[in-house]
Amino acid sequence: MPGLLPEKITIREKYAPAMEIEDQAEADAYFQACVEHALRTGAKTRAEGERVERLNLGYFAGYYSQETRMRVQRLYGAVHPYLGDAGTPDAPIEPTVDQCFAAGRELAETGSAPKD
């Protein structure tokens, strides 16, 4: 079980351990540690902390394999904010290079993710 995360922590130090977790109970405990950290460092409410942590976990998972994205989505309910749903092992939804480029372009031009 994770203890309190230190107030000063890098993004990698905070989210990389979550990418390795495979057990739901361990994921729940780690997510709560992340939310508690968010509450100590700026989130105004638990709901805000949970929303921010899910966005961050989903985004961070985008730097990992499709398998990791699906696991993070399943364990934490965290969907990548720009790439969207990762799917399931039976029906993965892998973005194409063109979709990734379009999402990045849209974000750069408008400051927000593309709409479905």
Looking at the domain assignment, is residue 50 inside a domain?
Answer: yes
Output the pLDDT for position 115.
53
Looking at the domain assignment, is residue 115 inside a domain?
Answer: no
Looking at the domain assignment, is residue 32 inside a domain?
Answer: yes
Q: How many domains does the chain have?
A: 1
Looking at the domain assignment, is residue 6 inside a domain?
Answer: no
Looking at the domain assignment, is residue 4 inside a domain?
Answer: no
Q: Which long-range contacts (CB under 8 A, 24 or more apart) does 3-12 make?
A: 3/33, 4/33, 4/36, 4/37, 5/33, 5/34, 5/36, 5/37, 7/37, 7/40, 7/41, 9/37, 11/56, 11/60
Looking at the domain assignment, is residue 45 inside a domain?
Answer: yes
- Average model confidence (pLDDT) for the chain? 91
C-beta separation of 30 from 17 below 8 A: yes
Q: What is the mean pLDDT of residues 67-90?
A: 93
Q: What is the mean pLDDT of residues 15-38?
A: 98
Looking at the domain assignment, is residue 30 inside a domain?
Answer: yes
- For residue 88, give the DSSP letter: E
Range of the domain at 44: 11-110
